[in-house]
Amino acid sequence: MPSPRKKKLVVYNGWSIGFRRNIHMYCHSLTASKYNLDLQIPCEDTPDGYVGIWTYDLEISESEYVEVLVALRAWAKTIQTEYRLYLTRDEYESGPNGM
């Protein structure tokens, strides 16, 4: 039986996003899967109160990166908390309150 804390959702072009909060203190488990590609995406609560999602170090092709970003953008709108989706170390997209 799957953990009730884990959520799987197909959000874009076959990408399945899995998310489980607080697997170790403030760290979350965030995964993105499509075909035979399974990504572990760094994700955690920050001292400033938002969920940080760091995608810029994923070792995937440019086209896969663009696709997974679209999926993560759609998914992030559903988590009902403020977040920052980091595209580079200094550049991010935020929501839902535009931090």
For residue 11, the surrounding DSSP H or E stretch is strand 7-12
Q: Which residues contact 26 (CB under 8 A, 6 or more apart)?
A: 44, 45
pLDDT in tens, 38-79: 999 999 999 999 999 999 999 999 999 999 999 999 888 888
**The tokens of 32 are what?**
């993105």
| The predicted structure's pLDDT at residue 96 | 75
| The predicted structure's pLDDT at residue 23 | 75
Asked if 83 and 98 touch (Cβ cutoff 8 Å), the reply is no
| The predicted structure's pLDDT at residue 7 | 59
State whether the Cα torsion 78-21-49-67 is positive or negative.
negative
Helices and strands (DSSP H and E) totals, the chain: 1, 8
| The predicted structure's pLDDT at residue 1 | 43
| The predicted structure's pLDDT at residue 37 | 94
For residue 15, the surrounding DSSP H or E stretch is strand 15-24
CB atoms within 10 A of CB 77: 12
